[in-house]
Amino acid sequence: MKNVKSFVILGIIVLLLALFSMYYSNAATYKIEAYGEANIQEDIFNPLIAKSVNTKALSLTSGDYTIRQTDGIYMNEQMQLMIPSDKIMELFSCSAELYNNKKLVIKKYDTTLIFYLNKTEYELNGKKYDTKIAPTKKDGCFYAPANIIADALEYEYVWSIDDNVATLTNVSKKKSIVPSSYDLRDEDRDTDIFDQGRYGTCWAFSAITSIESILSPEESVSFSVDHMSISNSFAASQNEGGDYTMGMAYLAAWQGPVYEKDDPYGDNKSDDSLEAVKHVQQMQLIEDKDYETIKEYVMLYGGVQTSLYNSLSNSFSGNEYYDRNTSAYYYYGSERPNHDVVIIGWDDDYPKENFATLPEDDGAFICQNSWGYEFGENGYFYVSYYDTDIGLNNVAYTRIDDSDNYDNIYQTDLCGWVGQIGYGSDGVYGANVYHASSKQDVCAAGFYATGENTEYEIYICANYKRKSSLKKARLAASGTLDKAGYYTIDFDRNIRVKKGRDFAVILHIATEDEEHPLAIEYNADEATEDVDLKDGTGFISMSGEKWVDIEEGYSCNICLKAFTNNVDEDD
């Protein structure tokens, strides 16, 4: 009797799927209609269709960005595509912040969309709406329905049954994704205010503050400025100051960050044995004075580190550039930047009359300083859009991983991007050779793009013996990077290296309008006098055919890292 029932049920399922196939045979691609009235046919058909969809290769594409089942997307029983919150930003070019893993706030243009876990009611620009689709949690991730987000942010959402592919097309006529004003403090994403005191550590405070704001509100952490400014590879004391490239090198090398509680500020000592609690794998440099992109990155990621010229002697001073009563700063001289702060917001309508000297027009960035709560507006101040130096040397920390993302890092450039090398054209090859201490999979490489519109190709030689071995390398990844900065490129397929073998990472890099596109580390000044040229083997080549030892020939190291995961010796 059990077999008879099974055959009957199977027959019904086959019949329903056949009817579904016939129904859509003349309309393989259609626009999803949201929130249709429930009926008995949907209750029967939709779970079956969703099950069929989820058993095939499923993808969602928006512009050049595609996510797949491996990224966590799935079709629910209401035939709605559910996407994890950490993929929403890339898909819709919007901010997507999760609060206590229960509330998801999405912002773009002047639109605010709020979802609540397991609640069908959502908010759009302050108004409440109800739908049968409730955000849910799966494998620890918050999931929201793609079609509701698409409708709110002015995207057309089309589903192809034949291809099992959903496509998002931005149909908005708005030129900018940012609102006229924005403030991380209003989003509960502000961080603690600190006082750098007598030390020249503004560069480290700005980097740490930016990273903390990017991790918030999901994570509320306090990282150590002492560790970044002391336990790095530069021969410079806290009194001598520093710049954003030093922070980038420290982070790219996995020397930090560490927690403030483990290395408190201001005691003139640091613990070199502490290990990084996060791995910063991508740091993008926004072009000088590109205010639109700065705003986008503040909204999408968090605080952006930047520079200005500081004309003030202390927290209580004022002059023709700074109005203490309004906490408004406008420097219009010719001095170059000497102080780092963090942009945490802006106001296009901030009155020009608030400044001690009248700038050309309204508008200001909201900046977080490192001079304690007594400075400005409880540690914050406003900098005119027309300030000479605001918006120079901008760093956005755009990929911050947990510290277990890779098992090993191979590197020779602890001081990072000190200079550049090349052959007078926009393209050059560089290679670093490393020794595998165990059986490992090479899964990613890290390097600097020294300018905008950088094309790269990464090759791996799994069994390096001599320079001629480099010709046998396999292509592991290729692509284009829009902005300068430090990048980690994950490979689609890992490349295994055996224990005790040498392996090589090869980078072909071509940067538009750059004659020396390859980043190098060398002894350039007193801060980099401890650069070690004996910590590895590197080569440079014009065409990838003839290779020159870069340590011996040019007294420098190539900035090219490898990331690996350990493999069981029995595998």
Q: Which residues does residue 414 pair with via DSSP β-bridges, in sequence order? A: none
Transcribe 112-127 into DSSP letters.
EEEEETT-SEEEETTE
Q: Which position has the token pair 């901008």?
A: 394
What per-residue confidence (pLDDT) applies to 182?
Answer: 96
What per-residue confidence (pLDDT) applies to 42?
Answer: 55
Query: CA-based angle 439:443:447, to the nearest 5?
Result: 120
User: Is 90 exceeded by the pLDDT of residue 425?
Assistant: no
The count of C-alpha atoms lying within 13 angstroms of the C-alpha of 296, restricted to the half-sphere facing its C-beta, is 16
- As a whole number, mean pLDDT of residues 494-502 equals 95
**Alpha-carbon gap, residue 88 to 95, rounded angstroms:** 8
Range with lowest mean pLDDT among 17-21, 432-436, 518-522: 17-21
Read off the pLDDT of residues 40-55 as tens digits, 9 standing for 90 and up: 455 666 777 778 878 8
What per-residue confidence (pLDDT) applies to 7?
Answer: 47
On average, the pLDDT of the chain sits at: 90
**Alpha-carbon gap, residue 113 to 123, rounded angstroms:** 6
User: Is 90 exceeded by the pLDDT of residue 516?
Assistant: yes
Torsion angle of the four alpha carbons 362, 363, 368, 371, in this order, in degrees rounded to the nearest 10: -20
User: Is 80 exceeded by the pLDDT of residue 420?
Assistant: yes
Q: Alpha helices, DSSP H only, in 301-385?
A: none
User: Is 90 exceeded by the pLDDT of residue 35?
Assistant: no
- As a whole number, mean pLDDT of residues 270-277 equals 95
Q: What percent of the chain has pLDDT over 90?
A: 80
User: Is 70 exceeded by the pLDDT of residue 6?
Assistant: no
Read off the pLDDT of residues 220-239 as tens digits, 9 standing for 90 and up: 999 999 999 999 999 999 99
User: Is 90 exceeded by the pLDDT of residue 567?
Assistant: yes
Read off the pLDDT of residues 362-400 as tens digits, 9 standing for 90 and up: 999 999 999 999 999 999 999 999 999 999 999 999 999
**Alpha-carbon gap, residue 68 to 60, rounded angstroms:** 6
- As a whole number, mean pLDDT of residues 436-462 equals 97
- As a whole number, mean pLDDT of residues 302-327 equals 93
Read off the pLDDT of residues 85-105 as tens digits, 9 standing for 90 and up: 999 999 999 999 999 989 999
- 398-426 in b/e form (b: 16+ CB < 10 A) is bbbeeeebbebbbbbbbbbbbebbbbeeb
**Alpha-carbon gap, residue 384 to 535, rounded angstroms:** 46
Stated length of the chain:
571
User: Is 80 exceeded by the pLDDT of residue 348?
Assistant: yes
**Alpha-carbon gap, residue 567 to 497, rounded angstroms:** 10
Sheet of 537-541, strands arranged across: 474-481, 454-464, 502-511, 427-435, 537-541, 548-549
Closest C-alpha among 158, 157, 161, 156 to residue 24: 161
Give the 3-state DSSP-derived string for 143-169, with helices as H, strands as E and coil as C: EEEHHHHHHHCCEEEEEECCCCEEEEE
User: Is 60 exceeded by the pLDDT of residue 315?
Assistant: yes
Sheet of 419-421, strands arranged across: 419-421, 518-521, 557-558
Considering 3-7, 66-70, 345-349, the range whose residues carry the highest mean pLDDT is 345-349
**Alpha-carbon gap, residue 63 to 112, rounded angstroms:** 22
Q: What percent of the chain has pLDDT over 70?
A: 92
> 537-541 and 408-410 as β-strands: parallel, antiparallel, unpaired?
unpaired
**Alpha-carbon gap, residue 55 to 92, rounded angstroms:** 26
Report in angstroms the alpha-carbon separations of 280 from 192, 399, 481.
Answer: 21, 6, 17
Stronger pLDDT, 15 or 245, i.e. the higher one = 245
Q: Alpha helices, DSSP H only, in 276-386?
A: 291-300
What per-residue confidence (pLDDT) applies to 43?
Answer: 60
**Alpha-carbon gap, residue 561 to 505, rounded angstroms:** 8
* Contact predicate 160/56, CB 8 Å: no
pLDDT band at 20 (very low <50, low <70, confident <90, very high): very low
Closest C-alpha among 491, 477, 470 to residue 538: 470
Read off the pLDDT of residues 132-162 as tens digits, 9 standing for 90 and up: 889 999 988 999 999 999 999 999 999 888 8
What per-residue confidence (pLDDT) applies to 44?
Answer: 63
pLDDT band at 77 (very low <50, low <70, confident <90, very high): confident
**Alpha-carbon gap, residue 512 to 521, rounded angstroms:** 21
